[in-house]
Structure 1
Amino acid sequence: MSCHDHVLAPRWALRALAVLAAVVVGLVPWTDTASAHGSVIDPASRNYGCWLRWGSDFQNPAMQQQDPMCWQAWQDDTNAMWNWNGLYRENVGGNHRAFIPDGQLCSAGHTADGRYKSMDVPGRWKKTDVRRDFTVHLRDQALHGADYLQIYVTRQGFDPTTERLGWGDLELIKTTGRYAPTSDIRVDVSAPGRSGHHVVYTIWKASHADQVYYICSDVNFS
């Protein structure tokens, strides 16, 4: 074998690896690491729950029957789940109701060019069982901290399976103070007088910027 043959073999190997890498990139859904911020993981937000249950098996057709609301979300925009931690709006200035219209609360007013609009669709979303007294667990991946959290729960009589969420459907049950940067924030809340399927709506005002997260979690009051 000549010296030329020794040089040529590694070049072909590199070319083969480059082709393989291109194929892999084409098959793996794109995730925007810049949007790795955080969300409510318990009770699981709608898109976090879909990612948790199906992220490793999101092309499984069984999802359509077993988890139809997640199915419609994956079909609409897979990045809504891969970026479960990036559902926020910027430069709101505390005017939540002015920036987030009725019917678009779970998508933060169709933020990110409508990436999360499937979160607003009414239906039988998977629920977390809770009692009247429960804890909201926020995962703050980027250690933003919080100026405050506002936690709402839907009023008795609201039907998440048929109605889009509006501000008039919510009751504010907790407003917190500031939290220093930490990976996990837990808030104890109480929502008496409820039964069945409800939505917990969490507003998280991050401390590092005028950046606000609007998070829908489905629960079942047992």
Structure 2
Amino acid sequence: MQINRKAFIATTLAAPTLLVLAVAPGTASAHGTMSNPPSRTMVCYSEGPESPKSAACKQAVTTGGTQPLYDWNEVNLADAAGRHREIIPDGKLCSAGRDKYRGFDQARADWPATTMTSGATHTFKYRATAPHKGAFELYLTKESYDPAKPLKWADLESTPFHTVTNPTVADGYYTMTAKLPSRQGRHLIYAIWQRSDSPEAFYSCSDVVFGQSNPSPAPTPTGTPTATPKPTPTTSTPRPTTTATGTPRPTSTATQPPTGGNALAAINAGVGVSPATAATGAQVKVTAVCSGSQVRDVTSAAFSPARSRPAAPTVAWSPTMKAAKAGTYAVTVRCANGNLARTALTID
């Protein structure tokens, strides 16, 4: 997914280097997850996709297979644009509403968890296999949270306990230092990473325990498991690499990140496709955004017809189009004010 925030970039979109970046395998759908405290996908991947140790991870594999574990950094929605609560239903927060990751929505009190100190300052680490500009929001469950019940939006505090825009990234990790709220017992930290250069967002659930010994500790990711990833028709997932340990550098407090409609307003021109790889004849959802303007049209030789226009003036448009013929094609959104953005679609 490629976003362009200035109109003059329209003249450079044809540059070979930009086009290569747009179609490079894996960059469209694999980007990151919370590593400290580790997310459910990171925990299960660290246990070993083919032979997980915990009951929760074993059930996740039984439910959805091993591929979601190999694709631990791909719990994303291409067309979120800050509309997280609108498009992710209750009970499906940890999967972001994606059926592929439904095994991580299991309501159970034995997910491996990280012990944390109530009210303490903690340095969070977010594994970024493909860094992007954007804003992070960290939410904690309310004191009434019951892990044995499906996670709902109402189970989270209404405001995040930490927000940061464009935190420092080093050695493949974003670091964020935040003061934890006062809690006791088992809880969950829900992280949202909304890109500012695209409508795309990433989500993760990290199980934590405050103020008591943890009978089922989450493994600390220390390197790359030896299992060989299974190929999928839609993703090519980079594995995490071994990272030298040390004290992460805290980041200074940043500006409040854009949320909801403000997140949409931060995107001058953006386009995304879901899925990024589709079969001939399949339906492909295109998300086009032209903040401060209107979507003029979406064009691509991948579709028939090659050009489509919204029926009425709109800032954001999400049509579903038919993949017409095999190949890798540019998909372009053009805005009425001259801005444009381009991404790539591969049709098998």
Which letter maps to 1:185?
A: Y
Alpha-carbon offset, residue 68 of structure 1: 0.8
Alpha-carbon offset, residue 179 of structure 1: 3.4
Whole-angstrom CA distance in 1 between matches of 2:87 and 2:137: 16
- Give the corresponding residue for 1:213: 202
User: Please, which of 105, 113, 119 is the counterpart of residue 120 of structure 1?
Assistant: 105
Alignment RMSD = 1.8
Which letter maps to 1:88?
A: N
Instruction: Give CA deviations for 1:21-61 in whole Å, capped at 9, x if unaligned.
Output: xxxxxxxxxxx845431111110100110010124xx23xx
- Pairing of 1:192-203 with structure 2 (within 5 A): 192-203=181-192
Which letter maps to 1:196?
A: G
Instruction: Give CA deviations for 1:91-140 in whole Å, capped at 9, x if unaligned.
Output: 11211110111111100012xxx110111111110001111322221011
Instruction: Give CA deviations for 1:70-98 in whole Å, capped at 9, x if unaligned.
Output: 00111222111000011100111211110
Residues 135 and 195 of structure 2 are in contact (CA less than 8 Å); yes or no, is this contact kept in structure 1? yes
Paired residue secondary structure (1:48) = helix
CA pair 130-180 structure 1, distance change in 2 beyond 3 A: closer
- Pairing of 1:14-53 with structure 2 (within 5 A): 33-34=26-27, 35-53=29-47
Q: Which has the larger radius of gyration?
A: 1
- Give the corresponding residue for 1:170: 156
Whole-angstrom CA distance in 1 between matches of 2:182 and 2:207: 17
CA pair 189-179 structure 1, distance change in 2 beyond 3 A: closer
Instruction: Give CA deviations for 1:177-218 in whole Å, capped at 9, x if unaligned.
Output: 233665211112223321111000000113442210111000
Structure 2: segments with no counterpart, 5+ residues = 1-24, 212-348
Residues 144 and 181 of structure 1 are in contact (CA less than 8 Å); yes or no, is this contact kept in structure 2? no
User: Please, which of 138, 141, 145 is the counterpart of residue 126 of structure 2?
Assistant: 138
User: Please, which of 61, 67, 77 is the counterpart of residue 79 of structure 1?
Assistant: 67
Whole-angstrom CA distance in 1 between matches of 2:123 and 2:88: 25
User: More helix by proportion, 1 or 2?
Assistant: 1
Whole-angstrom CA distance in 1 between matches of 2:47 and 2:81: 35
Residues 206 and 212 of structure 1 are in contact (CA less than 8 Å); yes or no, is this contact kept in structure 2? yes
- Give the corresponding residue for 1:70: 57
Whole-angstrom CA distance in 2 between matches of 1:184 and 1:95: 25
Whole-angstrom CA distance in 2 between matches of 1:208 and 1:138: 19
Higher RCO, Cα 8 Å, sep 6+: 1
Whole-angstrom CA distance in 2 between matches of 1:78 and 1:140: 21
